[in-house]
Amino acid sequence: MATLHIVGNSFDLAHGIESKYSDFKTDAWRCASYNGYYLGVLENCYPQKNIKIGELMLWSDLERALGNLDFQQAFSLDTEDIEPEEDHEFRYLAQMEDASEYMLQNMFAVFHKLFEDWVNHINISFEKFECIPYFDSKGLFLSFNYTETLETLCNIPMTNIRYIHGRRGTTDKLIVDHCNNIDRNDYLPENPKIYECQAYQSIADIVNKERKNVSDIIFEGHDFWQQLSNIDKVVVYGHSLSDVDQPYFKQIINSIYSSSEWYFSIYYHDLQERTEATNKVLNMINYMGVSLHKCRTFWINTVLNKNSSSKCRPANMFRR
């Protein structure tokens, strides 16, 4: 069987690599220096919290969070120090309209710089673990990670890997964006002032520039999708199966045999987490339109090593 491996961040985490968004937060604040002001602005513009863990969504589900900027908060931060001028009303209005655009441009520039610096310094000096269920080193790999873990630890040729969002250490742009299409009218207050309309439009334009152009990314991967024509087995390792990545999975479905079997790794501590993990898989299966009898799950620990064969095992939630 020809195998496609889809690799998400938990694959790196399983090797002990510190590649969580919370690790990015720690590194960003440690290295922020004079850019710390814009990190503070970033957190204020994205105040939504992950209720389960009490952390900002920004540092637990970054790409989803980036598409949910708090417009009112961003506008207030940018304009709170601007004072009305009786003799220069037009200057005041222009300042109120333009302040958000200038600040957010700088904020996102700092964010991307800090993100790339962090990715480029992630340590992957770990040993390859022996227990990787359904792993075929001669297969193809679609990696959602920025690190060269597959090449360094698993000896996979770079020619067999498609880094869908870029690979560090190359000329690739590292893509970390959201998938929302922002409309300023969804955020405007009632009876907005003229300068608020213009300012909110500028905010929407800037946030939309941070939108992931999935269609272009898929188009640029044309050669890779063609290589999938003989794939009849797909194994998903440590992928969040977020809806922002659904178009990629649809592209895979359109590129492989319709009879292909799917294997999804899941990880959980208790019954509730098992249910949540299984539901994520089911949602993706339903989206792709794959028959349930062609799909299996397997349990894999988040920390595996060469002595951890007992830490990965079949855990099929879709028994026939």
- Return the CATH number of 2-17+124-174+214-314, one of 2.60.40, 1.10.3470, 3.40.50, 3.40.720: 3.40.50
pLDDT classification of 52: cutoffs 50, 70, 90: confident
**pLDDT value at residue 320:** 35
The answer to whether 144 touches 174, Cβ cutoff 8 Å, is no
- Whole-number pLDDT of residue 86: 63
> Facing residues of 211 across strands?
178
- Angstrom CA distances, 287 to 199, 261, 263, 291, stand at 37, 16, 16, 11
Cα torsion angle, 286, 288, 291, 294, sign:
negative
Q: Could you tell me which residues are beta bridge partners of residue 312?
A: 300
The tens digit of pLDDT for each residue in 201-253 reads 999 999 999 999 999 999 999 999 999 999 999 999 999 998 889 999 999 99
Chain segment 243-300, per-residue pLDDT in tens: 889 999 999 999 999 999 999 999 888 888 889 999 999 999 999 999 999 999 998 6
Which has the closest alpha carbon to 43: 31, 59, 32? Answer: 59
Two tokens at 146?
């920025």
User: What pLDDT band is residue 31 in, cutting at 50, 70 and 90?
Assistant: confident
Confidence grade of residue 99 (pLDDT, cut at 50, 70, 90): confident
Lowest mean pLDDT among 8-22, 28-42, 65-79, 163-177: 28-42
For residues 229, 231, 235, 239, the Cα torsion angle rounded to the nearest 10 degrees is 0
Average pLDDT over residues 70-77: 92
288 phi/psi in degrees, rounded to 5: -75, -20
Closest CA to 315 of 73, 133, 86, 174: 133
Mean of per-residue pLDDT scores for the chain = 89
The H or E element spanning position 161 is strand 161-163
> Mean of the pLDDT values across residues 93-122?
92
What is the spatial distance between Cα 295 and Cα 282, in angstroms, rounded to a whole number?
10
Query: Radius of gyration over alpha carbons of the chain, in Å?
Result: 22
Asked whether residue 89 carries a pLDDT value surpassing 90, the answer given is: no
* pLDDT confidence bin for 87, thresholds 50/70/90: low
| Confidence check: pLDDT of 25 > 60 | yes
The dihedral built from the CA positions of residue 133, 139, 143 and 147, taken in this order, carries a sign that is: positive
The model carries a pTM of: 0.89
SS3 237: strand
Domain with CATH 3.40.50 in the chain: 2-17+124-174+214-314
The mean pLDDT of 171-176, rounded to a whole number, is: 95
Quote the pLDDT of residue 255: 97
pLDDT digits (tens, 9 = 90+) for 121-156: 999 998 776 678 899 999 999 999 999 999 999 999
What sections of the chain are H helices per DSSP? 9-14, 21-31, 36-45, 62-66, 71-79, 89-120, 149-154, 194-209, 214-220, 222-226, 246-253, 271-288
Q: Select the more confidently predicted residue: 319 or 296.
A: 296
Average pLDDT value for residue range 102-113: 94
| Residue scoring higher pLDDT (120 or 93) | 120
* Most confident segment among 193-197, 262-266, 316-320: 262-266
Torsion-angle region of residue 259: left (phi > 0), alpha (psi -120 to 50) or beta? alpha
Kindly indicate the confidence band of residue 5, based on its pLDDT and cuts at 50, 70 and 90.
very high
Q: How many residues does the chain have?
A: 320
Calculate ∠ Cα 136-139-144, nearest 5°: 100
